[in-house]
Chains A and B, each alone.
Chain A
Amino acid sequence: MGLAYLTFIPFIGAAFTTVSTRLGRYSSAWVAVITAAASLSLLLPLAHDVMAGQTIIQHASQWVPSLGLNIAFRLDGLSLLFTLMILLIGLVVIIYARYYLSPRDSMGRFYAYLLLFMGSMLGIVLSENIIQLLIFWELTSLSSFLLISYWQQREEASRGARMALTITGGGGLAMLGGFLLLGKIAGSYELSSILESGDMIRQHALYPYMLILILLGVFTKSAQFPFHFWLPNAMAAPTPVSSYLHSATMVKAGIFLLARFFPALSGTPEWTWIVTLTGLITFLTGAYIALFKHDMKALLAYSTISHLGLIVMLFGIGTPLAVVAAVFHIMNHAIFKASLFMLAGIVDHETGTRDMRQLRGLRKYMPYTALLTMIAAASMAGIPFLNGFLSKEMFFAETVEHGNSMALPWLLPLIVTAGGIFAAAYSIRIAHNVFFNGKAEDLPKIPHEPSRGMQIPVEILVGLCLLTGIFPAQIAGPMLSVAVTSTLQTTAPDYQLAIWHGVNPALIMSMVAVAGGILVYRSREALFTLQSRFDGMFEAKRIYNGAIRRLFNWSSSITMNVDNLSQKRMLWLLFVASIVMGASGFIVHDAPLAGARTMLPVDPMSAMVAFIMIAAAISTVVMHQQRFTALVLVSAVGLGVALTFIKFSAPDLALTQLSVEFITVVLLLLALFFLPQRTPDESDRLRQGRDIVIALLAGSGVAALSYAVLTREYSTIGDYFISNSVSGGGGANVVNVLLVDFRGFDTMGEITVLALAGIGIYAMLDKLKLLSPQQDEDGRPWNPDTHPVVMATFSRLLLPLALMVSIFILLRGHNLPGGGFIAGLVTSVALIVQYLANGVEWTRTKLPANTHPLIGSGLLIAASTGVASWYFSYPFLTSTFHHFHIPLLGDLELASAMAFDLGVYLVVVGTSLLILINLGLIHQVSYQPRITKKNLASPTTDSDTTPSRSAALKKVLPWKR
């Protein structure tokens, strides 16, 4: 389980960093350090076995076993190398950022994002199941989005973050497709079996499609041409982020996958051509563009692209020795690039600019930083005695070797040397241009050496560059060897990590590259002038921006064509579309309207109720302009619906409908008080006619459909519930057992929606200022007699009785009509009657106006009932069915369903009271019941003196802030 904990510790740490900021600004940095160290301490005991050549696979738990999805982790040489890079470079970045971030930046947020990202990266490199790997892959896209857009107020930060997310997220989708194909071909999503079935995978007919999809994911993530442009735009991130994401982690994730799947996918012509060519083009363009970037970070960004291309190309060449070079360069690049980003950050931090047209001669002010930069840049250029030299020379040797197999053996080494020249040139530039090149002047700040906290991380990394460069076999040898073995999944080839291999083509290429680099750098001014003529042309970013803009224009023009911001029109379209679709169904399928089922006879009572309902519905429509009358009529329809439910064997529905009807009418009455009492005439007769036609069409369509359904026989799954209700759910009321047991999860969702609606309404009412009309539209003042005495007295007497009834309904609900929903509604009705009869003033002293705790505890009870079934190792909420046969547990089961119903009850009570009481409180605040004689004499709406709701609430509700 160690690996699972190792992966999840950063996620837990992320939660702690946000909290820890309360203990002081820098405590979150400490939490981050401790988190990374904790993961590291879990890794080290395992690392010993891996260095001895073992592969550790840990199955944490099953996820969806039927789909072959398991949560499993894997640690071998390759993942150990990446885990070490993620954690160690992570650690130095954490320390560096502690000193880099300015007091204005939120430390807690920064470290939380960084740890989220760290955990996601660990998940990628340690996953055994590839679908699990993909989830972490997407998590890195999301957390890197947060990191890049860390300075949210900057436009370029959010734009860069969006671009990175679009490109890498899109690649992730392609990758998902590729992984699904891969799993289908290999018959498993486990890496162990995928890596063993390489031959089968390569011969499969779907191999080319799968390869392209996976490579799309790899190339987007690792910023390969033509998807490279997101990386320079991600430089808007704080420098510690760039240093972490673009040296050792994010962009290396794609490379990691190339290495991971190397035994399974490589070796075909498709692989060699696509991967090698992409790598080569990226290597060249990156190196070329980097030289012309005046921003230090932009230069480093393009050089990163170029080095990634180099590594990708080595995997494309695919000989065992090329893989050695690739893995070695992964390590080396991570180390020198991380330090260079940090150095660029130091320069930016101490001078206030990263523009190399402005920066020069800094060695006078920061000689030590200059020295560190020179070493790191020399490593990037490939100067001997530094780590960069070793892997770069291996790279040159491999291109010579690979060139020999081609028609023009000199072509590839020549092209690569040209790339090497530019690489040397930009490496020289970042050191010389900034620290030498004349006298420093016109800088935003007087530069000086940075604090030690920023230097130490760089010293560690630069020290590693030197040590690896001088003692490669001792420092990097063992790690490289296990990493290469696990990448190849066979024994590693013979290779020698030494500085001196004799005079060979690779050494000559290295020398040419450095000498050429010096020449190119010397003639840079002429090159800059030449290049400036092509500025802005061939920029992938522009193509991307254009495509995005067209996409947005296109979708917004479609939207605007349909939606002209008129609700009527949208509804009209919806209704017409439904009618057309329904009618075409009737027309296309040539079936008789009526089916064969025997119809029930009409009894006089039903006929009368139906007639009243139809009459009430029609009158509602006809009289809808008199709003109060229409409301009364509509509630008559609602009561009729309740009667219909009773008639057709649905007592639970009838009870629900009845109580909901009451609450709805009270609610609409409260609302109507603030709205005009009448609806004005509609001027457009034509439109009215058109609406009548649509309404009649819709009505007759639905009637015909109902008739067609009702006259046909059907088969139902209901019999299952009826026969299992008592034995499996322990209740005789099948509807209630369905709600709280069989489909408890649905009910859980429904009460959550209910709670959300209630809280949404509360939020809308919170800032609402309503003007209270003092008289109705005919100028008659509202009746000041608020609370009729008879009603008030009786309602108080009735309250205990009503509450008792509701508890009775709740308790018996499992076996007889009732249950949480109905009991909750009955309780709400009982309480609302108190408000109606006695007024808010009187009632609020007895009852809480704030029912949030009620809603919350209801949801909590319902959810914990579900969680409780985990305790008996049964799935969420569905446990009860299985162990009802045992008498003792049977009793337990019954109790759990009842507890769930109690949760439903509390949510229903809480939500309905929340809505009505808060609407009622507005009433109380804005409606002044004490109408003075002066007001009666001249009934005017004195809106000016109506206090705002919040101010008035303070008077009414002293505890409300």
Chain B
Amino acid sequence: MSMSELNTSAAITPAAASPVVAATPVTTGADEVNDLILTRLAAVLGRGYVIEHVPAGGSLSLLNYLKIDPSEETVVIATNVASRAAGHEDLLGVRVDEIDTDMLALFAPHAIIARVEEGKPVRTVDPVLPARVVNTIRCVNPRCVTQTEPYLDQVFVLADKNLGEYRCEYCSAAAQF
């Protein structure tokens, strides 16, 4: 299909505000080409989630953080696609019944998620930064007590919601992803 054909594909209506019920087609506000890719991803998946504005090249890491194993789940990835918003980004589709939106917010704070039903993106899901993250990030402060007391959980708390800044619960060191 040529680019012109892609550009004249059917318009996609804006995202529904309410999470209620069925098949109101949604867009996530991305470029038209990316919208089309997401629509195609949704069609391939049938059900699950499509995610855009994933940092370019970060899809595999994100799958790891979400504990989604590509050898066991259906995953579709488009890496390093052009993006008006971010220059380049990844687009990701996963066929799972549930997704950890807290982790997604943590590692891809600008990502937009759409739930897929019957091959179509039907509604967006708004991820919220978790207030507390346990055993996902490791404190890098060499003086932190977690370095010498290995039985302790690695706990980070949301210190600044606006900046998405997390700090170690023990030593207050900033999280490094």
The answer to whether A and B come from one shared complex is no
